Amino acid sequence: MVADFAISPVGLGPSLSPYVAEAFKIIERSGVAYQHHAMGTNLEGEWDEVMAVIKACRDAMLASADRVSITIKIDDRPGAGSRLDYKVRSAQEKM
């Protein structure tokens, strides 16, 4: 599955990059395939491992903030792998 998610604490001021950087560290240490983009992160893996990464990011942010906003979009296609690059490349080849 591929999950696109964005997470941010609420009420901690105009610059959220220190909190997002902590989420990036969690994502990198997880071993789950990922791609960061300007509005969030794509994760690719099995349901439980991907959701565990999102939960770990949530838990870390809740240690600093009383409220966390998370958006998640999922493309669940069992058996399909290595889709982070393939999906973009496939569309670009058709341009």
pLDDT at 7 over 80: yes
Euclidean distance between CA atoms 14 and 35, whole angstroms: 24
Domain spanning 2-93, CATH architecture: 2-Layer Sandwich (3.30)
CA proximity to 23, closest of 71, 61, 69: 61
More confident of the two residues 18 and 94: 18
pLDDT band at 47 (very low <50, low <70, confident <90, very high): very high
Mean pLDDT of 59-81: 90
How high does pLDDT run on average in the chain? 89
Mean pLDDT of 29-40: 94
Q: Cα separations (Å) of 79 from 39, 41, 43, 45?
A: 27, 21, 16, 10
